[in-house]
Structure 1
């Protein structure tokens, strides 16, 4: 029979776990938001968003039956994924569309895994993504960017304790969610200044006949929706104790 003392000990341990998870979730969200909003850290961290962006193009191109030629990542955090196939049609539209939503959708998927307490799965998916991009990268800067990202990921996965891993995974997930929104807003600003006329949105406009402004709206709504839903999943440990009734 479980004694009252044992029950209280278990309850106290759970409260500590919930408290740690809540602190990690909130702190990681604040840090990720600052990284995205502040110019200097964003300039470097944006490379991660670009890697995921180009991985999205590449994955959908493969799924659409196109032949991948390679990925190029530039020091200005832009990138290009080249594939061969029919220059129009659904496959090309989906391939072009896939880039901007990729970080948001990956962040949402990671948030679901974090909510299910599957941190190792998040690290495994991230490692597989980096390996896939590394195989496809065709320039030195791109290889360096992917290897540095893989080095950080490997150090955390192999050398960090559970709490540090949880903090890193939460930070990475929040960063993908916040980091998916800023490139869309940046693209809107560039197009208002008459720049970036060959962006994904403009290519989609030429492929579909739907104005680029509409595609930008779609991309923006999708990114913000993923941020809201993913954020709710991530902060669930913080709000659950306050909303849960007495057991």
Structure 2
């Protein structure tokens, strides 16, 4: 690959592309809403939200100086990220809090990129993040999930026209904004159903079932009740949806 090819590729990534018409943006949002709202499609698509969730735990663990041990993604759409370090303190709190907030915040960041016209940057950036995450996945189903998701982004980025790439990018961002909110409601429902105690894994965070969920782990770490953390997760998801949706619609 010559210098001209590298320059052309860089210009393609950093350049801007034409956004779809507003009615198409609304249509992609309705499609994402249907995927999130329908039980059958959600059970399949939720794997993508779990990838973002565990990626949030992993990134925050690295940023706070913890040693990342690995990530596991399961066929029931649960996941687990294990890191080594001090079992209490700010680093562990931030790592545990990063899971449920990661999908909506990623959606918000994606909406900012799209309102700037950087569709290619979003697609290629997401692919790069998935490749980085793949290195830390420690089970076969997790590898399959990340490879399959990354392959979709690669195929769309390289084999489809710009109009299709734009629609796909908007649908993905809508999905993260909407899909980032539903797991918090699911966690709230699980906590009502299951009041038993499951031993915690030191340094672990993920989409585990209640009462060893992220909210319960955070409650033990901070003495803030789980309801307080649930409200925090809800607030992040709602603010991201409102802000990101406004950007996507050009308001």
The two structures have a TM-score, normalised by structure 2, of 0.86
Contact map agreement 1:24 1:166 (CA 8 A) in 2: no
Give the equivalent residue in structure 1 for 2:242. 228
Of 189-198 and 67-76, the range deviating more from structure 2: 189-198
Contact map agreement 1:62 1:68 (CA 8 A) in 2: yes
- Partner SS state of residue 138, structure 1: coil
Query: Deviation digits for residues 58-84 of structure 1, max 9, x if unmatched?
Result: 000000000001000000000000000
List, as ranges, runs of 4+ consecutive aligned residues in structure 1 with deviation greater than 4 Å.
none
List gaps (5 residues or longer) in structure 2: 1-17, 196-209
Query: Deviation digits for residues 146-202 of structure 1, max 9, x if unmatched?
Result: 011011111100001011000000000000000000000000001111251000000
- Partner SS state of residue 81, structure 1: strand
List gaps (5 residues or longer) in structure 1: 1-16, 240-247
Task: Return the alpha-carbon distance in structure 2 between the equivalents of residues 149 and 227 of structure 1.
Answer: 23
CA RMSD of aligned residues (A): 1.1
Contact map agreement 1:24 1:170 (CA 8 A) in 2: no
Give the equivalent residue in structure 2 for 1:215. 229
Superposed counterparts of 1:76-225, under 5 Å: 76-194=76-194, 196-225=210-239
- Partner SS state of residue 99, structure 2: coil
The two structures have a TM-score, normalised by structure 1, of 0.87
Aligned residues: 220
- Partner SS state of residue 99, structure 1: helix
> If you compute each CA radius of gyration, which structure gives the higher value, 1 or 2?
1
Matching of residue 61 in structure 1 with residue 61 in structure 2: yes
Offset of residue 132 of structure 1 = 1.3
Task: Return the alpha-carbon distance in structure 1 between the equivalents of residues 21 and 190 of structure 2.
Answer: 39
Offset of residue 23 of structure 1 = 2.4
Task: Return the alpha-carbon distance in structure 1 between the equivalents of residues 154 and 137 of structure 2.
Answer: 19
Offset of residue 125 of structure 1 = 1.7
Between Structure 1 and Structure 2, the one with more helix by share is 1
Matching of residue 30 in structure 1 with residue 30 in structure 2: yes
